[in-house]
Every structure is written in C-alpha cells, then in structure tokens.
Amino acid sequence: MQSNDKAQVVLRLNAITKTFGKLTANDAVSFSLHKGEVIALLGENGAGKTTLMNILFGQYTADSGTVEVFGRPLPPGNPRAALNAGVGMVHQHFTLADNMTVLENIVLGTQPLWRPGFDRTGARARIEKLSADFRLRVDPDARVGTLAVGERQRVEILKALYRDARILILDEPTAVLTPQETDDLFHTLRKAVDLGLSIVFISHKLHEVMAISDRVLILRHGKLVSQVETDQTDRKTLAALMVGAEVEAPKVDPVTPGPALLKLDNVGTPDQGSAPGLKSVTLALRAGQIIGLAGVSGNGQTALAAVIGGLTRPASGKLELDGETPQGWSPIHAVHSGIARIPEDRHKIGTIADFDLTENAILECYQDQPFSKRGWMNWGRARDFTRRIIDTYDVRCPGPSTRIRLLSGGNMQKLILGRVLEPEPRIILANQPVRGLDIGAVTYVQNQLLKARARGAAVLLISEDLDEIMALSDVIHVISEGRLSPGFPRGTMTPAELGVWMAGDGFEGEHSLAS
Amino acid sequence: MGSKGNTHLRLEPISNPTLARTILPPLIALGSTVVIASLLAMIAGANPFSVLGLIVKGAFGSKFAALETLNRATPLIFTGLSVAVAFRAKLWNIGAEAQLYAGAVVTVILGTGALTLPSIALVPFIAACAMIAGAVVLLIPTILKTRFGVDEVVTTLLFNFIFLLFVSMLLEGPLKDPMGMGWPKSARLIPEARLPRILPGLRLHWGFALAILAAIAVWIIQKRTTLGYEMQAVGLNPEAARFAGIPVRAALIKTALLSGGLAALAGFSEVAGLKGSLTLDLSPGFGYTGIIVAMLALLNPLAVIAAALFVAGIFVGADSMSRAAGVPTYLADIMLATALLLMVLAILLTRFRIRRE
C-alpha cells in the first residue's frame, strides 16, 4: 500500500485482448485507475469501450490479459466476483424490474426479499443515507415502471452503491439524459469522488469528457491509442485522437426553402405504454430544407417517425402531401409517395439479417417492375440494382449474395441509404441515421443528406446528438413528451436554450417536471 | 454462489459457419441415431447389425418393399411440405392432421357418386376441392392469430382432436357406408374418382407423382415468386417486413392456404389412391410425422422428398424387421424421435458454438 491516497491503484487491466471472430474488439489494452480518480474512456461507437467494460465486469471472458482489483486478480467471467470485489456497473440499458419498487430493485439479489427475516427498515435507512450522501434523489417506494429515465439511472447507481461498490463504471450514462440531468449526474459523480470512489466514465461526447474526467483514455479500433491528462488537452485534440484525423463540420450552403411537401396539422397519436404519442404536432417539411428534431430519446420521436413513415395513421389531426390528404396511409403508400425512410434500428427494422444484400435492397420495391412482374421475381434485375448501390454508395462487401448480417453497421447503413435514395425521393425521413457509425461513415451519410437537400428534397433529421442537429439543420424543433416546440432557425438557439425545451420547460401552460 | 468450480456453458452465435460446420452436425445426428437404435436392438436381445440390415432390406430390399415405402412416403411428402411451407413463415401449423382429414372427407363426399364426370375431370376437381377444404381449416386459426394474436400452436393442435371427432361423427352418420355391416367406414369411391396406378401391375398410384410435383412447385414458389419472397421475409423478421411495406397479414394468410391445401392433398391421395374409402384410422399420425419430415429436411421442399423416404423406409423396414428378428416395431418410433431430437441439436450446433466459462 502506498502512503499517498491519490496514488493507490484500485484497478489495473493488463493487456486485455478480446476477439469476436475476425473482429478484434480489444487489442492488448492496459490501464490503471487510482483512488478518487475519474477516467473517461473515449472512443467512437464500435471502438471497443463496452466490450472492455464487460470484460472487467465479468460478462465476457477475455482471450488473454488479466484484471486486478485492489491488487487482487479477478477471476474471469464472473460478474459476482466483480461485484464482491467492489466493482459496480451502470449499464447503458438499465437492468431494473419495472413492476417492483425502487427499494426492492436495489436490494434484489443481496438478500431474500420475501422471507420474514428481511429487514426492510434497515434497508430503507441505508438507501436514504446513500441518497443523501450522493445527492441521488429518488422515492424508495415508487414503482420503477413509473419513473423517468433520469430517475431510473439514479436507481441503477444506488444499486451499485448499496453493494459497496468502490469503483463505478458508467457506460454512456448521458445518452438518455437532458443537459440539465447530465449536470445533476455530474454533481453526484463529484460527490462520489470526494467520498473516495473511483469512476470509469464511458462516452463519446467530448464536452462531457472534458467536464468530468481527470484523465482521458482514447480507444480506437480496439487499441488504446492515447492517455492524456484532461487539463492538458482540448476538445479538438481529443476529437482528432478519437477518429485518427482532424474532423471537419460538414459545410452547409444556404438554400432557399421551397414549398411544403409534407405537412402535419395538429396530429395526435395514442401513447404506447411508456412511450408518449404525439400531442397535436404541427410541422411542415419544405423542399430544400433540413428540419432537425432534437430531444431526449423516448419523447415521441418514434411516434413521429411512425406517422411520417406510414406505420401509423394520425388518430387526430391530418397529414398532407402536397396540400392533399392521401387516400390511404401505410408503409407502401409512404414509399410510393416518394418518402425515403431511414429507420432508427437498422439491424432489426431496416434489414433482415439472414437475407442477402439483394433481398434486402429490394425490400421496399420488390412488387414494382422490373424487380417482379405478375408475381414472378426477376432476380437478375434485382442483383443489377444491388450492384449499382454497392458501387454508388461504396458498400464494402464480398458481393450482392452476402448475408447482410456479416456487414458492419456503416456498410449496412450505406445499403439502406442506397435503397431509399436511389429512386431520388422528394422527402427523407432520417431517424438516427449515424448512430453507431464510425466517423467516415458519419460524414458520408451526412453529406448524402446535404446532397439531397441541395437537389430540393425535404429532410427530417431525428437525432439525439445535439451537435449533429445544430450542424446540419436549417430549422430545429425540439420534441418533449410528444409535444413539438416551435421551429428555431439555424443559429438562433444555444444548446442550453434547447436543453430547456428538451426538459419540457419551454412549453406554455404546462407544469414543469418535478425533477 | 462463490467463484470456484462454477462453470457455465454459453451459446455463442457463429456469424459465418464453414461448410463443414453446416454439413457435419446433421450427418453426425443421423449416425448417432443408428448407433442408439443399435444399442436398443442389443438390449432387445438381437444382433444390431442384422436388425439394421433387416430394416434396410425391409424398406428397399425388394420391388414390393420399395413400392410399399414409396406409397408410405406419399402422404408424408404432402404433410412435410405443408409443415415446411408454414414453418418457413413462422406459422406454426401443428394441424396438418386435421387438414389431411378435411381433404379426405371432401374426397369421400364428392367421390362416392355425388358427381359423375369422366375421370380426367373428376380427379383434379376433387383434388382442388380437397385443397380448399384443408386451406379453410388452417385459415381459421391463422385469422385468429393475425387479428387477435391467438397462438396458432394451441389452436391448430387442439383442432386436430375436434376434427377427428367430427370425422368420427360423420362416419357414424351421414357418411356411413350403408353396406358397411355397421363398421364406421365410408362408402367406396366410384372408379372415376380413383387415382390410377402409375404402371399397371405396380402397387404405386399417381399420388406419389403428384407429391413430387408438389415439392417442385413449392420450391419454385419459394425461389421465384414474390409470394415466396414475402413468406420468407415474414418468417425471418416480421417487423422489418412490415416496415418495408410487405403485406404481412396477407402473406401469412396465403401461407396458410398453401400449407393447409398441401396437407389436404395427403388425405385426398390416401383415399383416392390407396384406400378407396375413409376410415378413422386413415392416418396413423401423418400430420404429426410431417413435422419430423419437415425438420429433418431443414424446411427445404426438395429435401422433404428425401426425408419422407427416410422416415417411410424406417416405418416399413421396422415392420418387416420386427417379424424377422422379433424386436418390437416401437424401435421405429424411437429411431424417428431420436433422429428428430438430434437433428434439432445439430441445427443448433450449425449456428452456435458452445463455450465453457
């Protein structure tokens, strides 16, 4: 043991390597974490951050390399051992039971809940003390199913603290939070550090990394490419390290918007479980304009995309194309109306994993000539079409007969882009078009959207990434609990101002949220 | 609880299986089936090699045996295709048995003198009507599924029992043969309604040829038509199919019509080609065995022919083996059950690898 508290190494990873088939997710990654330190693990989606943390937490077994916690080696592949050693993980996707209370969720797994011996009062006292110490406000008796996302995250953190975690791993904790909630989280994390905990903070958002961390580790393609002290660096340097090249914001030339191609007039849809429906949304998509839809995920983006994409009909209000209400409204109507739909989930919704590229390329047009005639497929023409997409959109693949599940996310997305953009659509619905893509693919996709805008297409860009929205959009709307803010022209709003709307506080006549 | 001695087995998906990994497990499954059958034969006190030899000889060893096997395979090809078509679209049709009997009932209603047409018109007409009946029988559970989300596994399975009792009622009542000496049995088909033999003198009827044609037709539908594409898309990922604008419900309905119709052809061909009349024991579970056939064929319509021959061969061969070696015919059931279980495991192993942690 060292005398200096700050220098005590609480966690050490030695040359961790993990491969999945041909992909090397982690390539000899080593680092150490000291007591009271916050390190940020920075990297693009797919750089190997989550894999590394899953190895640390025992959910994956590394091919080689070891993990030491407080100087003792951790047996591989055993989450319980990691927990016992004081490692707590807050996953990107929460692992809470919706139908149980906060208290039950926190205690679950540490002691039998329904035996007579269960000390509910003691558990409650302990949770309340942790809540106060770490500034994690939450009602122990609330059912988790009724909580907002930010509150659920606090429960997850409490769960780790209740198990005496000395090392907290947070995997992309801010992806689901408003800027204000993010600030609250950072307060909690600083508290935790003051109380002697150590934190690994995983993110790909540069400003957050700058705000919270002492040291930044940069992962690129599974390799640890750099370690820097946060106060010795800046965002631009980090971005360059992260992607391996200087990043440039896409150039947006001014375009005079044309007529409204698609209009929503006071459109409402019912709520779907905890996902809010639309609350009288009015929106116009104009030729030559990119509308950005900002908002915390799960606030009605899915409902809006479903209406425009033809998956649901407005329950109230109306949808107009070129000033007329369409006769029927279904996915195929949307496609035939010239709406290109880039779905949010390219793995589950946008493609069929076990279909090959050709079968996936014609998913929306197989009923049309020349791909089929009177019920008979013309696979030759379908393959020609696919080859054209592969060439034009630079889809890296062995050929049109490759199963699409073997492609990387970026190449999959390029195939979808080709599928929907090849018919020169008038309207583009891009729902999270760059999520999970590497920077090269991101630039490519964004440039395709700008190209479509330049030739007069109307674009609706839905994204959780405020930076992306602000860089690309001519007009920004914020969606919160199914309500749509007015349109803010480019450059009139700061991120903080948009954050107020994202938290639901900008809407008139509405009570602000308790948090 | 602790960390020591706590090993877990985990399945890891294989993204790009090698050729060996695709072919070997099914072959090993069939090999293991033979080994297990041999062990059972030994327990029964017989020489395993002679038992297996007798099964093969009983199934394919003579012209008579081979024709018997082909006859037995015919309904299995139809029910196997029925199941393969439905399962590919993830429509879990466990009701091929009821659809088979629906086809048989219609064959008897139309073929016992109610219609008098020349054979060339009557036989195809009856076949078409039988298909419609089978299609309708599967249509009902399918509509319940697409409209109300009722699990078709339950409805199709239970409908088998209802329908069998319904057939029993018909055979005791309206369809009962007045000349049948009181047996629950229908009247015999008129000669114009019978499926003729392929070659005079050979005990093999045109139902077998029809089954082969049906398999080829299903294969062409799957490979070359928009319907085949839709059925496959709906089976692999209904959500993505719906998003893309594929009419998911319509595709499922069409799948049901095709699947039910194919199973009904089994009933038609058994009555019109082999038995000539309807009794309650027309099918010794051909509808259920069709599931085994379809699984062994990995849902490929052309492979259904081979799988049906394999299954029919085991049944026919086991009968004759039992007479010669004194080992009970239940060995055939055990072999099929083993083959099915091992094949399911084999399919798992072609797609996943087992990891020890």
How far does B353 lie from chain A, in Å, by closest CA? 12
> Does residue B214 form part of some domain?
yes
How far does A346 lie from chain B, in Å, by closest CA? 9
The amino acid sitting at A360 is: N
pLDDT for residue B288: 94
Kindly state whether B8 is in contact with chain A, defined as any CB-CB distance less than 8 angstroms.
yes
Kindly state whether A341 is in contact with chain B, defined as any CB-CB distance less than 8 angstroms.
yes
> Does residue B206 form part of some domain?
yes
Highest average pLDDT, of A157-171, B165-179, B267-281, comes from: B267-281
Whose structure tokens read 């399945």? B11
**pLDDT (tens digit, 9 = 90+) per residue, B1-20?**
333 344 556 666 666 667 77
pLDDT for residue A244: 65
Its domain, for residue B297, covers 73-301
Q: Give, to the nearest 10 degrees, the angle between helix A149-162 and helix A179-194.
A: 10
Q: Which is nearest to A36 in space by CA: A204, A235, A180, A192? A: A192
pLDDT for residue A209: 86
Kindly state whether A352 is in contact with chain B, defined as any CB-CB distance less than 8 angstroms.
yes
How far does A509 lie from chain B, in Å, by closest CA? 37
Contact at CB, B236 and A353, closer than 8 angstroms? yes
How far does B314 lie from chain A, in Å, by closest CA? 34
The DSSP string of B85-142 is HHHHTT-----HHHHHHHHHHHHHHHHTTT----HHHHHHHHHHHHHHHHHHHHHHHH
Cβ neighbourhood burial of B76 (10 Å; 0-12, 13-18, 19+) = buried
B1, closest residue in chain A (CA to CA): A80
Cα A74 from Cα A374, distance rounded (Å): 63
| Residues whose CB falls within 8 Å of the CB of residue A459, separated by 6 or more in sequence, listed in order | A285, A289, A290, A291, A427, A428, A430, A449, A452, A453
CATH match for A250-338+426-515 among 3.40.50.970, 2.160.20.10, 3.40.50.300, 3.40.30.10: 3.40.50.300
Which of B14, B233, B245 is nearest residue A332 as measured by Cβ atoms? B245
Task: Let me know how long chain A is.
Answer: 515
Residue B162 burial (CB count, 10 A): 11
* Phi, psi torsion values for B162, nearest 5 degrees: -60, -45
Helices (H) and strands (E) in chain A, counts: 16, 22
- Looking at per-residue confidence, does A244 or B292 come out higher? B292
Classify A489 as helix, strand or coil: strand
| Residues whose CB falls within 8 Å of the CB of residue A307, separated by 6 or more in sequence, listed in order | A264, A267, A269, A278, A313, A314, A319
Q: State the best of A19, A363, A369, A431 to mutate against chain B, taking most chain B CBs within 10 Å.
A: A363
Q: What is the mean pLDDT of residues B110-126?
A: 90
Kindly state whether B353 is in contact with chain A, defined as any CB-CB distance less than 8 angstroms.
no
Kindly state whether A377 is in contact with chain B, defined as any CB-CB distance less than 8 angstroms.
yes
Tally of domains within chain B: 1
Contact at CB, B357 and A77, closer than 8 angstroms? yes
- All residue ranges of chain A with pLDDT < 50 are 1-4, 509-515
What's the ipTM? 0.85
Name chain A contacts of B244, Cβ cutoff 8 Å.
Answer: 331, 363-364
Classify A354 as helix, strand or coil: coil
- For residues A363, A364, A369 and A372, what is the CA-based torsion angle, rounded to 10 degrees? 30
Kindly state whether A373 is in contact with chain B, defined as any CB-CB distance less than 8 angstroms.
no
pLDDT for residue B173: 86
Cα A361 from Cα B229, distance rounded (Å): 13
Angle at A345 between CA A341 and CA A346, to 5 degrees: 75
Classify A65 as helix, strand or coil: strand
End-to-end CA distance of chain A: 42
* Phi, psi torsion values for B342, nearest 5 degrees: -65, -35
pLDDT for residue B4: 39
Name chain B contacts of A81, Cβ cutoff 8 Å.
Answer: 3
The amino acid sitting at A503 is: A
How far does A125 lie from chain B, in Å, by closest CA? 27
Helices (H) and strands (E) in chain B, counts: 13, 2
Name chain A contacts of B236, Cβ cutoff 8 Å.
Answer: 352-355
Domain with CATH 3.40.50.300 in chain A: 5-243, 250-338+426-515
- For residues A53, A54, A55 and A60, what is the CA-based torsion angle, rounded to 10 degrees? -170
Classify B204 as helix, strand or coil: coil
> Does residue B194 form part of some domain?
yes
Whose structure tokens read 């006190």? B45
How far does A319 lie from chain B, in Å, by closest CA? 19
CB A460 within 8 A of CB A430: yes
Whose structure tokens read 């101002």? A497
Angle at A331 between CA A325 and CA A337, to 5 degrees: 50
Top-level class of domain A5-243: alpha beta
Which of B232, B239, B245 is nearest residue A349 as measured by Cβ atoms? B239
H or E segment and range at residue B218 = helix B206-224
The amino acid sitting at A275 is: A
Q: Which is nearest to B215 in space by CA: B89, B76, B343? A: B76
Kindly state whether B224 is in contact with chain A, defined as any CB-CB distance less than 8 angstroms.
yes
pLDDT for residue A177: 78
β partners of residue A377: A372
pLDDT for residue A58: 83
Q: Give, to the nearest 10 degrees, the angle between helix B63-88 and helix B226-236.
A: 70
Contact at CB, A377 and B229, closer than 8 angstroms? yes
A82, closest residue in chain B (CA to CA): B3
A79, closest residue in chain B (CA to CA): B3
**pLDDT (tens digit, 9 = 90+) per residue, A205-242?**
778 888 899 999 988 878 888 899 998 888 777 777 77
Contact at CB, A348 and B237, closer than 8 angstroms? yes
CB A107 within 8 A of CB A123: yes
Q: Measuring CA to CA, how many Å separate A156 from each of A148, B25, B227?
A: 13, 43, 48
pLDDT for residue A317: 93
Contact at CB, B245 and A343, closer than 8 angstroms? no
Kindly state whether A372 is in contact with chain B, defined as any CB-CB distance less than 8 angstroms.
yes
Which of A21, A364, A406 is nearest residue B245 as measured by Cβ atoms? A364
pLDDT for residue B216: 98
pLDDT for residue B327: 82
How far does B226 lie from chain A, in Å, by closest CA? 5
Which of B16, B226, B237 is nearest residue A375 as measured by Cβ atoms? B226
Contact at CB, B245 and A311, closer than 8 angstroms? no
pLDDT for residue A21: 67
Classify A92 as helix, strand or coil: coil
**pLDDT (tens digit, 9 = 90+) per residue, A93-133?**
788 888 888 988 888 877 766 666 677 888 888 899 988 88
Cβ neighbourhood burial of A163 (10 Å; 0-12, 13-18, 19+) = middle
Name chain B contacts of A372, Cβ cutoff 8 Å.
Answer: 226
Whose structure tokens read 């799988």? B307
> Does residue B98 form part of some domain?
yes
Kindly state whether B239 is in contact with chain A, defined as any CB-CB distance less than 8 angstroms.
yes
Contact at CB, B240 and A348, closer than 8 angstroms? yes
Q: B-contacting residues of A 290-309, CB under 8 Å?
A: 309
For residue A195, give the DSSP letter. Answer: T
Q: A-contacting residues of B 241-300, CB under 8 Å?
A: 241-247
For residue A485, give the DSSP letter. Answer: P
Q: State the best of A330, A352, A373, A406 to mutate against chain B, taking most chain B CBs within 10 Å.
A: A352
Kindly state whether B237 is in contact with chain A, defined as any CB-CB distance less than 8 angstroms.
yes
For residue A261, give the DSSP letter. Answer: E
Sheet holding A281-286, edge to edge: A281-286, A260-268, A316-321
> Does residue B59 form part of some domain?
no
Contact at CB, A355 and B233, closer than 8 angstroms? yes
- Looking at per-residue confidence, does B178 or B160 come out higher? B160
Residue B114 burial (CB count, 10 A): 10
Classify A422 as helix, strand or coil: coil
Which of B3, B243, B246 is nearest residue A80 as measured by Cβ atoms? B3
E-state strands within chain B: 9-13, 352-356
Burial letters for A61-84: b for 16+ Cβ neighbours within 10 Å, e otherwise? bbeebebbbbeeebbbbbeebbbb
Contact at CB, B244 and A80, closer than 8 angstroms? no
Which of A21, A78, A343 is nearest residue B243 as measured by Cβ atoms? A343
Contact at CB, A81 and B3, closer than 8 angstroms? yes
